[in-house]
Structures are given as structure tokens and as C-alpha cells.
Structure 1
Amino acid sequence: MILIVDDSPENIISLKKVLEKNNFEVDTASSGEEALKKVLKNSYVLIILDVQMPGMDGFEVAETISGYSKAKETAIIFLSAATPNINLITRGYSSGALDYISKPVDMNILLLKVKTFYRIYEQSRALNEMQTKLLKEIEYRKEAEKKKDEFISIASHELKTPMTSVKGYLQLLERSINKGETENIKTRIHKVQNQVEKLNLLIADLLDISKIESGKLMFNMKYFECSSLINHLLEVMQQANPQINFVVENKVNQEIYGDEMRIEQVLVNFITNAIKYSPGTHEIHITSEIRDHQLYCSVRDFGIGMSEEHQKKIFDKFYRVEESSERFQGLGIGLYICREIIERHNGTIGVKSILDQGSEFYFTIPVNPVNIEQN
């Protein structure tokens, strides 16, 4: 917007008419005092300022405006009926003006100057926006680098832990074999298998994250029996966790379109997390039903829960709740992979949680195919 400041109504009307005819938004002030009030309230790209005015002259107005942080980027063109001389021009520039035009004003020259200042303003604004964007990207690169380093450190630790356990159990197993301790052999083989399974899951997650980054996470989309998937999954989970009472509410009696293996992967992650983050409790609720042509599945625990702040970030890559990272193992990528899987099914994923009262993780996907990516 352009502000015209002149004590002559005729000058204001003629300038305003020409500028508005050329699609410029114009505001006016008939005195220096009025101009200063308007500059404090509004933002102007350019001020066309008459020098000879009663009260505050144009030089005084310009000097005052130059002290306003809000008007730091505002250009000023002086208009003067007096014959220009070196002293007037010097004072004009030292007051903060960028140009000086004598009256009577040649409208073609004024328009040329106004268009030039607008072009400079637009270019300056574009450069500032680009600089701001680049600074944000640099900060994001720095943050990503920090997260990557943290992830490598965590991954190394998480992989080392089961490997160390496997090595220790194998040494104990060798002693038991030498002594012929049948029961100990069975127990230690089972423990080795558990640690190997942990390694398999960690490696699978690392491979999946790599495939997601390269856009190569594959999906085998077809209709499958959701009830059968849940029943089979819970049978396996119950054997591995006999202390847990799984309370199941399964109302799905139709086939669902999707990648059965990937949906099972999401549910396994939900249930595994529910067990992990609810130590001392022995009940987990699993619900599946059809809502508005969408499959709705949820897993609810009665464990440590989380704050609203953590709920907003829990599906982000490499995110781990700091308060629980010391107590519970994990790479911080499982839920991120789940989010990618559900979003690739054109579904939604989320969590409801209350600190110290438990969490309910859920997802929805369309029952029938809706523009789902195949690879």
C-alpha cells in the first residue's frame, strides 16, 4: 500500500487517481502528524511525502519514521515545489528518502519510480522469505543429523544387547549339554530363541525404514479374513505371554482389502508395545469392528500412558518418550513404520492416552480398495 502525504487536497486527489488507475492501493494523510499515526497502525511499501507542509515538514516526518522499526523497509519519495538545490537534496537523503521529485510532478516519471520501488520491494520480500526458508531447512538438516546420530547410537545398543544375551546363553547351554542337564538345555534354547526373535524384529524394522526412505516398501494388496488374522495372532501372542489376559471384542465378519502381512505387523507392534509399556498389569483389550465402511482396530493397555505432547509426536521417525527411554528398549521407528503402512492403505492412525492410566492405539482402513498404492 502507498501513503500520500500532502497538505494540498488537489495534489492528493490527482496522485491518488493516477495510482489507483494503475492498480495500486492508496492511503492518504493531509499532515505530518496524521501520517505518523497511520504509519504506526498500517504497513506501507512506499510513502510519497510532500516537503513543504505546515507544522511538521516532510524532512521531520521522514526522520521520525526512520526511527520506527515497523517502517524500516518502507521507501520514501520526497515531493517539493521548491527549486531543488544540493542542500535540499542532501537533507532529503539524510532524512531517509530514497528519491526526490520536483513539482509539478511528471506522472509518467512518478509511475516509473513507484513501479521500480514495488519491484524492489517484491524482490526483497522474496529474498527474505527464501532466507527464512533456508534457515529453517538448515535447522531441520541439523535436527535430522542429530536424530540420525542418536538413532545409530540407539540401534547399536539395541542390537548389541540381544547379541550379548545370545552369546551368554550359548555358553550356559554348552555347559548344560556337557553336564547332561536336559531341563536347563530346553530353558536356555528357549531363551536363545527369544533373543534371536528380538534380533529378527530389529533387523526387520531397520530394513523397513530403509525401504520407506527409498520408496521401495512393497505391498501385496488383496482381500483377507480379518477375524482369522486376529485369532491366529492372539493365539501366538498368548503362548508367548501367558500372564496376559487378552480381552477381545471382534465384530468383523467380512473380508478386508489390504496387505494382510502389513496389517498384522501393525497389530503386533501395538500389542507388543501394550505389553512392554504396562508392567505390572495383566489385561489388554483388543477391539475390531466396521465403522462407516472402515475397519477400526484398537489395542488398549492400562500402563504408563503418555502426555498430550508425546501423543502428537509418537508416530514421528526416531521419536522416543524421554521419560521411558531409560526403562524400555526400542529404536523409535516401529510406530513410524505403522503410520506409513496405514497411510499407504489410505487409512488413519492415532492414539488416546492418559498419563499413568494407559494408552489406546488405533487405526482405520477402508474395507474396499480406494486408490491404494501397490508399490
Structure 2
Amino acid sequence: MRKTSVFLPILTFAIAVAIFVLDTVTRTEITASMLYVSVVLLSVRFCTTRGTVVVAAICMLITLGSFLLTTRYRLDWSYPVLINTGMSLVVQTVTTYLALKIEAVRDAARDLAETNQLRDALLGSVSHELRTPLTSIVGGVSVLADAPSLAQDKRLTSLAKGIRDEAMRLNADIQNMLDAARITSKGLQARQDWTEPSDVIGAAIDRVANRYGRRIEFEGAQNLPLVHLDPVLVEQALGQIIANAAKFSAADSKIIVTAEVEDKQLVVSVGDKGVGLTADEKSHITERFFRGERHLGKIPGSGLGLWIADTFIGASGGWLKALSAGENQGTTMQVVFPNIRYVDETDIPPQDA
């Protein structure tokens, strides 16, 4: 909320009185009405809402008083004078209303931005505090699940693996919140270097395959060029995309990852045979916190994964595209990197004529 010093109402009142004197002595009604509007706009900028209303009411009363004094002492009740006074009052009223509305929207936007910053800071802090004990839980339960003494008891083995899987899912959600806090706080800095894309793709595939136990095949073209990117961010982004494909497709289906050069750009595709995308989902899929209505309550998630992936890929100079023939027709997410370089010119594939 804006604070008002004692000086500002006195200043605006003095300006209004000066305009009143000018209006009464010189009879420059049109100029005076515009000056009254300026006083109202000045009060909107520096005074509270109540102060602005008071200033606007004073300006309109002074306008009306100037009209009455002019007509009384100069006997000028002509039609133009009446119209000019009425229009002046209408302009001041409309200006006050619109200016207050605009200022209210600005205040709301400012409050929303501050709320979002506080929320992101809180999420980042809480997530960081949860990360340390959760890492210990994941490590301990993983050792417990693989212990030979538990192998003979299928019930305990299943229980230990269930705890491990849920702990790993929670760990991934916390990592998403940490990444979201880093993005919104503008702390994301890409460290790009010429990188072998197969290594980055392979690391992302291994991480998701170990977590979900899914069959993921990589079909990379021969002699892929080096790509100028941040390998850490891109690995995390591809992991998000592959994990998303695993969540939204059947457990026994296959996920195919391909990498090839098209139009002098490296295109990495992640395809699944899952639930597909509707037209609305396709247009909003990389938005923060977006989740399709048909998946709410059925498939867990926060709506951050693909937004984080899109941001990380953008920081490395690439972009993300979603392709789908429709609902239950599968989805292909394409990651395009335009900045490529071949180590050996003989590796450059021939271009189609």
C-alpha cells in the first residue's frame, strides 16, 4: 500500500486553489479543466486511494464553485458555459475512476510478484532442508532392499523396494522444486561447451531406466556432431522428458530415443505409445504447473517437469517441440539444437539434393 506524506495533500490542494483562481480571474475554463485532471493524476500517483478521492472531490467542487461565481458576477448563463462545466466534471470523474482502476491493477500485480517471490524462496528453503535427510533415507533403504537376508522374505523385499521407489519419487519432486526456485530467482547460469551428445543422452536414459525399470532404446545416428550446450542442464532436461514419457505410457511399452541431424541441426526425439496429447495440452504443455484435466487425480505430478526441461534446453540455445496425433496416440517430444560442429569434415552426412 502506498504511503502519503502530509506535504503531498497540501501541495495538491494548493495547486487546485491556484487553478481555481486562474479559472475565476481569466475564465480559461478549458485549460483549467485539463489542469484539474493533472492534479487528479498527480494525486493517484502519490496519494492513497482515499486521498485521491478527496482531491478529486475538491477539484470538482472548485470547478462547480468557479462556474457559480462566474455566472453570478458576470451573468453568463450561456449554453456553452454550461456544457463546458458539465464536460469538465465528467472528465474529472472518468479520469479519477480509470486512474484508480489502473493503479489498483498495478498494486495487485506488485503484490502478486512479491507473493510469488516469497513462495519460491520458501519452497527452495524447505526443499533444501528436506533433501539431506531424504538422501540418507534413499541410500539406507536401497541397501536394505538389496540385502541378502531380506531376499528370502518376499514381503519384506517388496516393502523395502516400495519405500525406496516412493523415496526416489519424493526426491525427484524436491529436485524439481529446487530447480524451479533456481529458475525464478534468475540463478540459472548455463555453462556451455562442445559436448558429445550420445554421452549426455545415455546418462539421462540410464537415470530414468534405473528409477522406473522401463525399457528405453536409444537409436542414435552414426558420427553425430558435437553440440554446444550445457551437459548438466541438458541431461536433467532429457531426464525430465524421458521420465514424463515413462509416467504417461504403459509399463510394458517401449520408449524410443533417437538422435539425428536434420537441416544442419541436431534433433533428439523421445517417443512413447502412451496417452498422447490433445490440442489444448499440446499448446500449454511447457507452461509452469500445467497438467491436463484428464490426468488430475490419476497420474501423480506437479506440472513442473516439462517447464523445467524447456527452460534448461532454452538456456543451452535449443528449443522443445511436442508432437502427437491426438489422445491415446502417443507423444514425441523433440529437442532441437542448432549449434553443432563436426570434428572431422568427412563425418558430415551428404545433403539431399
Question: One fold, TM greater than 0.5?
Answer: yes
The reply to whether residue 361 of structure 1 matches residue 330 of structure 2 is: no
Give yes or no for contact 1:278–1:304 (8 Å, CA) kept in 2.
yes
Alignment of 1:302-341 (within 5 A): 302-341=273-312
> Which residue identity is paired with 2:199?
S
RCO higher in structure (CA 8 A, sep ≥6): 2
Q: State the 1:180 CA deviation.
A: 5.1
**Matched residue type, 2:151:** T
* Cα distance per residue 1:61-86 (max 9 Å; x no partner): xxxxxxxxxxxxxxxxxxxxxxx974
How much does 1:226 deviate? 0.7
**Could you tell me which residue of structure 1 aligns to residue 83 of structure 2?**
93
Looking at structure 2, the residues matched to 270 and 188 of structure 1 have their Cα atoms a distance apart, in angstroms, of: 29
Distance 1:95 1:313 in 2: 52
Q: Please, what TM-score do these two structures have when normalized by structure 2?
A: 0.56
Indicate how the Cα distance of structure 1 residues 242 and 345 shifts in structure 2: closer, same or farther if over 3 A, else same: closer
By how many angstroms is 1:210 displaced? 1.2
User: Are 1:135 and 2:105 matched, yes or no?
Assistant: yes
2:225 is the alignment partner of 1:254: yes
Q: Which stretch shifts more, 270-279 or 348-357?
A: 348-357
Give distance in 2, aligned partners of 1:347 and 1:129.
43
Structure 1 residue 243, shift from structure 2 partner: 5.1
SS in 1 for 2:191: coil
For 2:193 and 2:319, locate their aligned partners in 1 and report how far apart those are by CA, in whole Å. 19
Displacement after TM superposition at 1:358 (Å) = 1.7
Q: What is residue 28 of structure 1 aligned with on the other side?
A: none
User: Which has the larger strand fraction?
Assistant: 1
State the SS of the aligned residue for 2:250: coil
Distance 1:214 1:334 in 2: 17
More helix by share: 2
Letter in 1 for 2:205: L
Using the aligned pairs only, state the percent identity: 20
Q: Measured at CA, do residues 198 and 280 of structure 1 come closer, stay the same or move farther in structure 2, by a change above 3 Å?
A: closer
Range with greater deviation from structure 2 (187-196 or 283-292): 187-196
1:193 to 153, 164, 169: 164
Q: Is the contact made by 2:273 and 2:331 (CA closer than 8 Å) also made in structure 1? A: yes
Query: Counterpart of 1:359 in structure 2: which amino acid?
Result: T
Once residues 236 and 209 of structure 1 are traced to their aligned partners in structure 2, the CA distance between those partners, rounded to angstroms, is 20
Does 1:276 find its partner at 2:255?
no
Q: 1:141 to 1:363 in 2, by over 3 A?
A: farther
Residue deviations 1:3-46, cap 9 Å, x none? xxxxxxxxxxxxxxxxxxxxxxxxxxxxxxxxxxxxxxxxxxxx
**Deviations, residues 177-215 of structure 1 (Å, cap 9, x unaligned):** 9x9543336555444433332232222111111111211
Q: Where in structure 2 are the equivalents of 1:206-225 lying within 5 Å?
A: 206-225=177-196
SS at match of 1:295: strand
Deviation per residue, 1:148-190 (Å, 9 max, x gap): 98x98xx99xx9xxx8xx79x97xx79x99x954333655544
Q: Which runs of 5+ in 1 are unaligned?
A: 1-83, 100-119, 370-375
Q: 2:202 — aligned with what?
A: 231
Contact 2:198 2:220 (C-alpha < 8 Å) held by counterparts: no
For residues 362 and 330 of structure 1, the distance between their equivalents in structure 2, rounded to whole angstroms, comes to 21
Counterpart mapping for 1:26-45 below 5 A: none
Q: Deviations over 1:207-249 (max 9, x none)?
A: 1111112111233322221112323443454455555353634
Which of 178, 182, 191 is the equivalent residue of 2:151?
182
CA RMSD of aligned residues (A): 4.6
Q: Does structure 1 conserve the Cα–Cα contact (< 8 Å) formed by 2:214 and 2:246?
A: no
| Counterpart residue identity of residue 341, structure 1 | F
Q: How far, CA to CA, are the matches of 1:133 and 1:365 in structure 2?
A: 43
Distance in 2, Cα, partners of 1:262 & 1:193: 25
Please state whether the residue corresponding to 2:189 is helix, strand or coil. coil
